[in-house]
Structure 1
Amino acid sequence: MLTFEEKLSIIKEFPQLERKDVSLGRVNFHYEESASDKKNVVYHLHPNGNGFVYAGGLQGYEKDDKGMVNIRDFSADELRTLLEQAIAALAPKSTEESAIVGDQPEEKWVNEDGHILILVNEDEDMWNVYAGLNLDGTFNSYGEAAEYLDEEGFRRL
């Protein structure tokens, strides 16, 4: 298990997070640029090493009813990955994303290198995968698109 100081050091690698000291020596970190009302990314990081990260929109994590993941036993790499994904999920859409997605249903997918692809349902029966402004692939169903992304090493944010 990482110590409180080690977790703090990793969290401080993310300059978009702002530290907020709270009671009993605990620390929160806010993401003020969040596109959501949810701004608290790291919640109650305690000197004993326990704490939580908001992962409400993320897949593959055991979350409580508030979307929080307990990070007590996370490794350094696991914590970095979770923080990257949590911030990406809360980030406002870029100009590129807005141009591509508009009001269409979309999902962000990420690989282990942090590259993000966007899956967009542009028509009732057509799913497109974009890398930035570039169309990466078109699929007849969500299942086909998700299978392609999975095979390419991406997972849903």
Structure 2
Amino acid sequence: MLSFEEKLAIIEEFEELEKKEISLGRVNFHYEESLYDKKIVVYRLHPNGNGFVYAGQIEDYPVDDRGMVNIKDFSADELRELIRDAIDSLSLSPAEKDPIMEEWLNEHDQALVLMREDDGYNVYAEEQLEGTFNSYEEAANFLEQEGFSRL
């Protein structure tokens, strides 16, 4: 297990994080450039070496109900990778994290394009916007009801 000082040194390698001292010798590290309301990347790093890193926007990490991963037993490389992934996850919009661009055709060979943009899904006929939807399912439903199927 890395010591508090070793973890602190690794976290401080990330210049985009801002250190905030809290009670009982613990520290948080904030990412002020976050595109989301979530700004705390490292939460309650304690002098005993325990602490958490936000991974709520990252797949394949076991998170608690707040989206946090306990870093008590992380190696230096694991900690660096998790922090980099956390910062990246807060730096990219949903469309950048999971881009979608699909062409849908009907029986008359007319094409519509379904794209993920910002926080929603848009359907285009060439350059003209045909519809905006909150979820992929809503957009796909619309296309299917209009007689289109995905290629």
TM-score bracket for the superposition, by shorter chain length: 0.5 to 0.7
Please state if 1:106 is matched with 2:106: no
Which residue is equivalent to 1:37? 37
Cα distance in structure 1, aligned partners of 2:103 and 2:69: 34
Which residue is equivalent to 2:63? 63
Which residue is equivalent to 1:141? none
Which residue is equivalent to 1:12? 12
TM-score w.r.t. the length of structure 1 is 0.63
Cα distance in structure 2, aligned partners of 1:123 and 1:92: 21
Which residue is equivalent to 1:74? 74
Cα deviation, residue 127, structure 1 = 9.4
Cα deviation, residue 35, structure 1 = 0.3
Which residue is equivalent to 1:122? 101
Once the two structures are superposed, residues 118-150 of structure 1 have per-residue CA deviations (whole angstroms, 9 ceiling, x without a partner) of x5211266899xxxxxxxxxxxxxxxxxxxxxx
Cα deviation, residue 92, structure 1 = 4.8
What are the ranges of 5 or more consecutive residues in structure 1 without an aligned counterpart?
94-104, 109-118, 129-157
What are the ranges of 5 or more consecutive residues in structure 2 without an aligned counterpart?
105-112, 116-151
Cα distance in structure 2, aligned partners of 1:25 and 1:127: 50
Q: Computing the radius of gyration over CA atoms, which structure comes out larger, 1 or 2?
A: 2
Identity in percent? 64
Please state if 1:26 is matched with 2:15: no
- Poorly superposed stretches of 4+, deviation over 4 Å: 124-128
Please state if 1:85 is matched with 2:85: yes
Cα distance in structure 2, aligned partners of 1:32 and 1:62: 24
Cα distance in structure 2, aligned partners of 1:7 and 1:74: 9
Number of positions where the alignment pairs a residue of Structure 1 with one of Structure 2: 107
TM-score w.r.t. the length of structure 2 is 0.65
C-alpha RMSD over aligned residues: 2.1
Which residue is equivalent to 1:146? none
Cα distance in structure 2, aligned partners of 1:56 and 1:86: 8
Classify the secondary structure of the residue corresponding to 2:99.
strand
